Amino acid sequence: PFLFSQSQPINARSWVPLQDTPRARITFDAEIKVPKGMRAVMSAMNHGDAPLEGIFHFEMEKPIPTHLLAIAVGDLHFGAIGPRTGVYAEPQILSAAVKEFEDTEKMVEIAESLLGPYAWGRYDMLVLPPSFPFGGMENPRLAFMTPTLIAGDKSLVSTVAHELAHSWTGNLVSNATWRDLWLNEGFTTYFTNRIVEAVYGKELAELEVVLEYGRLKEELISMPLTSQTLPANVQAGDPNDAFNRFTYDKASMFVHELEHRLGRADFDRFLFDYVNHFAFQAITTETFVEYAKSTLLTQYGDKLTEAELQEWVYGTGMPSWFVPPTSNSLEKVDHLRTAWLAGEPLNKANTGDWRVHHWQYFLNSLPEVLDQQALIDLDTCFDFSRSTNAEIACDWYRVAIRNQYDPVLPFVEAYLIKIGRGKFVRPLYNELLLAGYQQEVRSIYQKARGGYHPSLSVHLDKQLLG
């Protein structure tokens, strides 16, 4: 048995009667009764040594947005990472999770050096079942994490850095409405990159920004132009639709440009002051714009104009002067991909120093159409269909499906049955439909649906069964 909540964006009202808006901050205390032997945890102070006698008490004395109210119950064990960090997980994956996330305490220290003291006491994480529909959820004192992050080589732990970064940008300074989500996710995506750079080096940080922009480019093509602004146009629609690449990656590109314009030292002072000025408050896009006018434009008017600020925030698409991010580390990938497409072999010898991010870039930059022999060669050499890295597997499956490489279908089915993370599941079903695999989609979905979270299956039902 395993129970877990997902309150963001407007689901807290489904289990607690409250005014469910990020503008309304709450404190809470709770008494949770569970079967003996089970452990309950919440977005509050948890104790890994609490006896499993069936009753747990919690208190969150600091005001939090309602969507950060969280609870989980299961056969949960605790593994310490540092004096204020640790992992809750089921026993069979606990040691792997502790090893994968062992840099978390260092991440907290780096984050504090940038934005000030960590305000929440402890930063613990909970590894959820594969049905958890997201990469992570920044519930204070108990961040939720997907098990797909446990790759064995720390290649995907930037999500840990992302949820940690929310402790300042999102949990401390919050978006007042879901229209203003970019204030939460854009600054957090940028801040994540700074943590990754400090812990894992500049090369990895640059690679992640390039991949971010790659995701954004896909939505620049598919998203209606009127929706390509930082404030999400969801006032009359579903707040879930606010979670797109514009509120994350376009907003992050904006923050990166602010750093570039001001210089890192001056921008860091602005960011520190911004977070501390609005700590424990929920703000709107307009509040930020006015604050930027009184600080950035006053102090650095020679580096940023009001027109440029307005264009970034309210303009559609990307500003005309925007320069896409690059990484010198990707030149070797471009060179080998070009050579491979021209007929030269690609093998483990000449790709031995590639990181996971290089492979993601390679797979995402392949031509739309590849012949069957090229796909066979890639799969035979690198065994992509059996990849244990969820990101690489998903990217490969998309390439294979659109080129109707049928040997991949059993692996795609097993993947879609095992994993319920929306980031992977939705695009794979879309690719299958576009490639003409309607019958296979219905068969797979009937087997997989029971393992998906309701927030995912309710949308997939309309798409796949309607």
- The verdict on whether omega for the bond into residue 231 sits within 30 degrees of 0, i.e. cis, is no
- Count of the separate structural domains present in the chain: 3
The last residue of one of the domains, among 115, 149, 183, is 149
The last residue of one of the domains, among 247, 282, 314, is 314
pLDDT score recorded for residue 15 = 96
The pLDDT-based confidence of 466 (bands split at 50, 70, 90) is confident
Same domain, 7 and 111: yes
In a domain? residue 159: no
Same domain, 142 and 182: no
Q: What is the CATH number of the domain that holds 107?
A: 3.30.2010.30
What the block records as the tokens of 106 is 């260092």
Question: Is 138 among the catalytic positions?
Answer: no
Q: What is the CATH number of the domain that holds 423?
A: 1.25.40.320
Could you give the 3-state DSSP secondary structure of residue 59? strand
Same domain, 408 and 383: yes
Same domain, 11 and 143: yes
Does pLDDT of 455 surpass 90? Answer: no
Same domain, 126 and 238: no
The catalytically annotated residue of 200, 248, 397, 437 is 248
Per DSSP, what are the bridge partners of residue 59? 29
Q: Picking from 88-92, 284-288, 348-352, 420-424, which range would have the lowest pLDDT averaged per residue?
A: 348-352
The catalytically annotated residue of 100, 163, 197, 311 is 163
In a domain? residue 137: yes
pTM (2 decimals)? Answer: 0.95
pLDDT tens for 236-249 read 888 989 999 999 99
Same domain, 302 and 346: no
pLDDT score recorded for residue 233 = 86
pLDDT tens for 177-190 read 999 999 999 999 99
Strands 142-145 and 85-89, sheet pairing: unpaired
Same domain, 97 and 224: no
Domain holding 19, by residue range, is 2-149
The pLDDT-based confidence of 223 (bands split at 50, 70, 90) is very high
CA distances from 65 to 4, 47, 125, 282, 459 (A): 18, 23, 19, 8, 25
Does pLDDT of 318 surpass 80? Answer: yes
Q: What is the CATH number of the domain that holds 186?
A: 1.10.390.10
pLDDT tens for 125-178 read 999 999 999 999 999 999 999 999 999 999 999 999 999 999 999 999 999 999
Does pLDDT of 235 surpass 90? Answer: no
Same domain, 349 and 411: yes
Per the rule left: phi > 0, alpha: psi between -120 and 50, beta: everything else, 121 is: left
The last residue of one of the domains, among 289, 314, 339, is 314
In a domain? residue 158: no
In a domain? residue 459: yes
Same domain, 334 and 302: no
Is-contact 253 213, C-beta < 8 A?
yes
pLDDT tens for 95-112 read 999 999 999 999 999 999
* Residue bearing tokens 């790659």: 214
Question: Is 112 among the catalytic positions?
Answer: no
What the block records as the tokens of 441 is 């989609």
In a domain? residue 305: yes
Question: What distance in Å separates the CA atoms of residue 85 and residue 284, rounded to the nearest whole number?
Answer: 32
Per DSSP, what are the bridge partners of residue 281? 173
Same domain, 255 and 302: yes
Same domain, 194 and 94: no
In a domain? residue 323: no
In a domain? residue 167: no
Q: What is the mean pLDDT of residues 434-461?
A: 95
pLDDT score recorded for residue 133 = 95
Same domain, 239 and 297: yes
Question: What distance in Å separates the CA atoms of residue 156 and residue 192, rounded to the nearest whole number?
Answer: 12
How many Cα atoms sit within 13 Å of 49 on the Cβ side? 1
Q: Percentage of residues in the chain with pLDDT exceeding 70?
A: 100
